[in-house]
Amino acid sequence: MKTGTGWMIGAVLVALAGSGGYYAGTRGHGVSAPGSSGVPAAAPSGTGDAAAKPGKKLLYYRNPMGLPDTSPTPKKDPMGMDYIPVYAGGADEEDAPANQVKISTDKVQKLGVRTEAAQLRSLDKLVRASGRIEPDERRVYAISPKFEGYVERLHVNVTGQAVGKGQALFEVYSPELVSAQREYAIAVQGVGSLKDAGGQAQAGMQQLAAASLARLRNWDISEAQIKALTETGTTTRTLTFRSPVSGIVMDKKALQGMRFMPGEALYQIADLSAVWVLADVFEQDIGLVKNGAKATVSINAYPDKAFSGRVTYVYPTLNPATRTVPVRVELANPGGLLKPGMFAQVELPVASKGQVVTVPVSAVIDSGTRQVVLVEKAAGRFEPREVRLGARSDTYIEVLDGVADGEPVVVAANFLIDAESNLKAALGSFAPAPQADAPVVATNSVGHQASGTVDSVDLKEGTISISHGPVASLKWPAMTMEFKAANPALLQALKPGAKVDFEFVERQPGEWVITSVKK
């Protein structure tokens, strides 16, 4: 009996203590029961409830998966996840501005993200081009007789032979030449015979002699031969042709005993003491190349030598097959080391226009329609900025608008950040927020979307081959092609034959990278 009574007393004491604690707690925190007067009841928390951020104005709701989709009212995505509210002041329920992407700090370390501050620097660029050695066209000579005849004897009979100026090349016989010599010799003798005759006869003979002399000179008869003909009056059966310049025989068509016609080029001689380099400069660099610019030429045959030249002409035509413009560089050729036809590597230093804001080339994500740079705003938070680019060097590129000096930009793993956080959601926030009564439309995507069937997956190389349908944003037809994966984890669950929807970007010309994929 005593035991039962003690148990009942203990239960009453516990109940009184609990009610007293509840009363004290409600007074200490100022919370009253629902429906009572005084302080209102606390609103229940919820992902899509505007009251989750008291004191802030709700703007709209965004897709929880980072897709470019917003809504003026609370809703769920096809997977049943609540849309995330975005408030005035640039904060959602995670306190991250809508135009930023957020990656956990441990994942940032795993991705190998590196940043570098944008800096003011001079973009001294080195334009490189491939070229070939060519003879100077102004130093190439053709030996072409101006009369019909026969090659009587060859003094130089090997292509590539070096000759000096005035050196005998070949001898020719021509009936016309012999006849012209005899005519001139007779005219000279007639002038001497008629020196005491009347003025009219002497003048006529002098005109005949002058006409015969002009004919011989027009046929390139040397002054020495004409002098000998005048003094002796005897004609020579053959005429010797000599080299007009010191150089190399580039072409020889003359054969001993052959017949030639007027104007036929029997020899071609080039003076190689100075040569040209015709460099093929790419279209995007041609605006930087100016006449008079210094150039450095290197030849594979002489890896320890560098030849200095100067740009003398930028050709006015472009090769549509290679998208290059020929540029002429003139340089001296001491010792004849540079042979026509050799390949050459040309370097043209280009001066910059002064100090400009620059970022590393690897910091720019080029989607084909716009260029984006990721700016680090805080640990694990990155803001995509659309930038306008200018000149570039081998490692840095000028930013005309979008990034200020000193701002840290992501230079490594920026494509992995894109794959992890779906960068296009943050880019979509550049557009104004939809009004309550306005229809919801998807914002622009930074990449291209397609659907297709997986043909093969190479986890070791991080590539996947997909037979996809047409891609409207690129005007591509249906085809099968290989893509790289921005993150190898994207390929883990994919097998050949799987139907997938995927998004991809062009990381560099011809390299297409998948940034997201789902079955």
Listed by start position, the domains of the chain span 101-124+354-428, 126-136+271-350, 145-264, 448-518
* Amino acid 124: pLDDT: 77
* Amino acid 341: pLDDT: 92
Percent of the chain with pLDDT over 90: 33
- The residues near 213 (Cβ < 8 Å, ≥ 6 apart) are 184, 226
Assigned superfamily of 126-136+271-350:
Efflux pump adaptor protein, beta barrel domain (2.40.30.170)
**Which class in CATH covers the domain with range 101-124+354-428?**
mainly beta
> Two tokens at 307?
């030849």
Q: Distance between CA 423 and CA 426 in Å, rounded?
A: 6
Q: Which of 54-58, 67-71, 294-298, 483-487 has the lowest mean pLDDT?
A: 54-58
DSSP run (H or E) holding 203: helix 199-218
SS3 384: strand
* Amino acid 279: pLDDT: 95
pLDDT in tens, 226-256: 777 777 777 788 888 999 999 999 999 999 9
Name the residue among 91, 96, 93 with its Cα closest to residue 74.
93
Check pLDDT > 80 for residue 335. Answer: yes
Check pLDDT > 80 for residue 281. Answer: yes
Q: Which of 97-106, 152-161, 454-463 has the lowest mean pLDDT?
A: 97-106
pLDDT in tens, 59-110: 778 776 556 677 888 888 776 777 877 766 544 444 556 567 777 777 777 7
Region of 27 (left: φ > 0; alpha: ψ -120 to 50; beta: rest) is alpha
Q: Which of 220-234, 396-410, 491-505 has the lowest mean pLDDT?
A: 220-234
* Amino acid 33: pLDDT: 37
8 A C-beta contact, residue 93 and residue 82: no
> Two tokens at 185?
């010799």
DSSP run (H or E) holding 401: strand 396-401
pLDDT in tens, 166-215: 999 999 998 888 888 888 888 887 777 777 666 777 777 788 888 888 88
Distance in angstroms between the alpha carbons of the first and the last residue of the chain: 73
> Which long-range CB contacts under 8 A does 403-408 form with residues at least 24 apart?
403/118, 403/357, 403/359, 403/373, 403/375, 404/118, 404/357, 405/118, 405/119, 405/120, 405/357, 406/117, 406/118, 406/119, 407/117, 407/118, 407/375, 408/115, 408/116, 408/117, 408/118, 408/375, 408/376
8 A C-beta contact, residue 452 and residue 408: no
Check pLDDT > 90 for residue 422. Answer: no
8 A C-beta contact, residue 83 and residue 48: yes
Strands (E), 402-498: 408-412, 448-458, 463-468, 479-485
Distances (CA, A) of 461 to 43, 354, 456, 485: 53, 43, 12, 9
Name the residue among 303, 332, 281, 304 with its Cα closest to residue 126.
281
Single-letter amino acid, residue 230: T
* Amino acid 270: pLDDT: 95
Report CA torsion sign: 142, 145, 150, 153. Answer: negative
How many residues belong to the chain? Answer: 519
Check pLDDT > 80 for residue 48. Answer: no
Position 44 confidence tier, pLDDT thresholds 50, 70, 90: very low
Q: How much is the mean pLDDT over the chain? A: 78
| Structure-model confidence comparison of residues 17 and 233, the more confident one | 233
- Give the strand pairing for 511-518 and 479-485: parallel
* Amino acid 315: pLDDT: 95
* Amino acid 417: pLDDT: 66
Within 13 A of 272's CA, how many CA atoms are on the CB side? 21
Single-letter amino acid, residue 72: P
* Amino acid 76: pLDDT: 84
Position 519 confidence tier, pLDDT thresholds 50, 70, 90: confident
* Amino acid 256: pLDDT: 92
* Amino acid 258: pLDDT: 95
- The residues near 460 (Cβ < 8 Å, ≥ 6 apart) are none
- The residues near 402 (Cβ < 8 Å, ≥ 6 apart) are 373, 385, 386, 387, 388
* Amino acid 55: pLDDT: 61
pLDDT in tens, 300-315: 999 999 999 999 999 9
**Which class in CATH covers the domain with range 448-518?**
mainly beta
The pTM for the full model equals 0.50
Question: What's the whole-number mean pLDDT along residues 418-443?
Answer: 45
